[in-house]
Each structure stands twice: as C-alpha cells, then as structure tokens.
Amino acid sequence: MKKIIVAFGMVLATAFACFAASPASDFEYHRMSESELTDLSRCVNGLDTKGSFIAVDEYKGGDSTVEIPAEIEGCMVIKVTIHGSSKKYVVPASVIWVWTIDADSYHPLPDIEFLRPKDAAFFWMTMLLPTEKKLRDRKIVFVDNGGFYLPSVETFTWSKNWSIKNSNAYLFGYDVEELIIEEGIQELPFTIHDACEKLVLPKSLKIIYPNTIIVDDNLKDIVIPAGSKIKIRANAIVDAYMLSRTTRKTLDALGYDW
C-alpha cells in the first residue's frame, strides 16, 4: 500500500482563508497537549509537538450549517471531531485530522465541506466511508483500528486518491451491489469481506496478495478487465469455488492456483 506523508507546512498558506466561521463560544474545544501532538506526529510529518494547536471536540450551537473556525484563541485549529447529525459542517484548510463519530451503516455521515486544497492530504478517522463524488478527487488517508463500512448504495467507487493507514483493514458492506476499484490503483489497500455482490477491478492492478478477497454468500462476480496482467497469489481469494462460473473461468484463464 502506497504510504502518504503529509507535509504540515502545506497548510500554512491556506489555513486562515476568510469565511464566516461560527463563533468559538459555540464549540467545546481544548488546547492539544504535547502527548496528543506526539501521537499525531506519527502520521503528520513535520508537526511541531511543542506548538500551540486547538482540537475542536463538539459543536453546541443551533445553526444548521456549522463553519468551524481556522483559529481559536490565537491558535490554529488542526483537529476536529464531527458528530453524526443532520447539520452541514464546513471544515477549514488548517485541519489535518478529522474524526467522525456516531456514523455507521445505519446512520449516514453528515454533509461535510472541506476547504483544504485537493492536493493536500488529510487524515480522516471514520468507520463509514463517504459517497460524495467530489471527495474522490481529494487525497484522504482513512484511519481506523479495523473495519470500514460501505454506505448503503448500489455502486461504490474506491478512489485512486485514497489510502488506509492500517495495513490490516477490512472493508465490509451489506447493500452494495457493485464495488468499483478506480483505475490507477496498483494494490488493494484493504481486505474485502462481506462487501458487495460484484467486485470490479482496474486494469492497473498489479497484484492481489493472499487472503485479500474473502468470498461469502454475497460476493458472486469479480470483473477482471481484458488484457490485465494481475498476479493473483495462491489463496488470494478465499473460498473462490463459491464464485460464479464466469468468474471461475476468468481465474482459470489467468492461471490462478486454486
């Protein structure tokens, strides 16, 4: 899995972009401790662990649109916790770490607008993956301790601009008919388990490692583009015999070691 390193200096030019932010009094927040910043620095290259930064913990106001300030008490806001709700959140460019809670396969993510430049990656700690097409163009490193849930949509596309911090992450889903891995991806950044009925792989994919795709009663078809040169390691597809006849023939043609 390709690792994305975020240069902290990239935020400085855009951190204080002018927009009508909600007042600081509408938020619960705290000044981040050195230990918090040290933990964050394991992901964020160049972060000053002795600097003064703010983490926004919760919104307490009543506005339907929450515009998080880029600065509170003269300190840059670099971390935000967003609680699942019907509100819209506008996250400033200064924020390099977003944590969404109270969102799962039954409770969708709130509407979030990110002001951070598209080419500046940020870390997003969440269990439920976003569906908005506009987020596919953004460099996002998803962070979680184990599994990510696909939202309840017919088709979900995993963007080439996304990666996962945890190399042992699982992708789960219940209602997704088709999971598309976007062209340009060379290695799957997760294990697919209970995720979809049809998995569409890109021609750019180079290798599938052992125990990467777990077949169950849900997954039936794996679409492999013509001309693909994917190296599918032995045991890369667990219980592959449960796949459709068409998919099994394709795997045979690729020389898959059953």
Distance between terminal CA atoms of the chain? 25
By the 8 A CB rule, do 179 and 200 touch?
A: yes
pTM recorded for the entire structure: 0.86
Q: Is the pLDDT of residue 1 over 60?
A: no
pLDDT in tens, 70-100: 999 999 999 999 987 778 999 999 999 999 9
Structure-block tokens of residue 174: 């219940």
Q: What is the mean pLDDT of residues 195-204?
A: 96
DSSP labels, 72-83: ETTEEEEEEEEE
**Element containing residue 45 per DSSP (H, E):** strand 44-45
Q: For residue 2, name the pLDDT band (cuts at 50, 70, 90).
A: very low
More confident residue, 129 or 145: 129
The pLDDT-based confidence of 144 (bands split at 50, 70, 90) is confident
Q: How far apart are CA 17 and CA 25, in angstroms?
A: 20
